[in-house]
Amino acid sequence: MSGRQAWREVAIAAVALPIAITLAVMAFAWPAGRISPRDVPVGIVGAGPASQRAVEGLTREKPGAFDFHLYPDQQAARSAIKNRDVYGAFAISDRSFTVLQATAASPAVAQLLTDVGQQLADKTTQRMAALQKAESAHSPAKTHKQTAAQQGDARQKAALQGAAGADSSVKVLVKAIDVVPVATDDPRGVVFSSSVFPLTICGILIGAFVTMARGLARPRHRVLTLLVACAVAALGVYLVAQGFLGALPHNHVATWAILALDLLSISATTAGVIRLVGPAGLGLSAALMVFVGNAFSGATSAPEMLPKGVDYVGQWLPPGAGASLLRDTTYFDGNADAGHLAVLVLWSVCGLTAVMFGHWVIREARGRKTGAPASGELLPPLPGSDTALPVRRHAHARRYDGDD
């Protein structure tokens, strides 16, 4: 037996652990290495020829990158950005490009829209310069030159100045307007995106501690402890993120409540899984929340920048839904937060239910496995006796289960 056990442990160390580590690295590295726009909702202001050319050019050069929404004016586009319908918008004319963006929604997408706007402006400049050159080639240039020479140097200088003015007007200007800016103390959104991973780890630790603590004898004690611990931990996170780093500047009470709900959804799920399957539930919860939920959250970029399928998986898990809900609450007054809120509430309710009633499942499974009678049942009568004996649970067994 010792030899078989040794070979089993060698196989785990040499095969199972390397596979798990490889999958964990791939879960984090693959989405990060495939960041690219995929159906990013973007607005287009107006339906003029310039706007149509821009949409056709982007559709041809970046197929599937953007999901365009048409708005009649910039005010409507700004409202759509604040309502989280689009990440930004392009207001295009023959002489200027205005990029409406929201760094609070995603600094990565805001930078992407600025770059795309500059590329469109450069191409428009080249097209207009080519058209102007073609028109100049077909005009009676020689006649104008002769007339200018006959009328003297003054008119020739004036004509040259007019031509220079025409050449300078070819340049298309690009103006970027940040409709919903990120916090001044966190201009790149680094503090915000960096808080997702610690929140996930802290939620797992809270759930593991509450489940394994021997002093919490009853399920309702565990549930109450989870609620209190998550609320206090969320307050500490908020005091650091906003009070010390200034990264969560708006809707203070709502932001603290979302942080607490995010922690509760992770910790309650961890506690419930441990309650149902035992210590192995800690590993399962960590794998689900860290290597899937955190890696697929899109907190550092945006869900629409991740590979197809990954974005949906990440938003259905607490780390991704919590990051999106926190962003919506802090900067966008809770717009478009219903789906993310429902995800966190669902995970929290399922986890707390498992904590409260999981002991019934465990007790039934234990009884079926051992065949032992439950408390209050009668044992068969002893030889020579006609009276069945009742089974009584000892006090130490009751304290060990901690469920009554």
pLDDT at 140: 53
pTM of the complete model:
0.78
Closest residue by Cα to residue 78 from 55, 39, 56, 105: 105
Q: In what order do the strands lie in the sheet with 173-178?
A: 66-71, 40-45, 88-92, 96-101, 173-178
34-43, 165-174, 306-315, 349-358: the lowest-pLDDT one: 165-174
Cβ-count burial of 18 within 10 angstroms (0-12 exposed, 13-18 middle, 19+ buried)?
exposed
First to last CA, the chain: 39
pLDDT at 160: 39
| Pairwise pLDDT comparison (371 vs 322), residue with the higher score | 322
% of residues, the chain, pLDDT over 70: 77
| Gap between the Cα atoms of 341 and 262, Å rounded | 9
What average pLDDT score do residues 17-33 get? 80
Pairing of strands 40-45, 88-92: parallel
| Pairwise pLDDT comparison (135 vs 339), residue with the higher score | 339
Please determine, for residue 11, whether its predicted confidence score (pLDDT) is greater than 70. yes
3-state secondary structure (DSSP) of residue 84: coil
What average pLDDT score do residues 195-199 get? 86
pLDDT at 365: 55
| Gap between the Cα atoms of 111 and 101, Å rounded | 9
Q: pLDDT band at residue 369, thresholds of 50, 70 and 90?
A: low
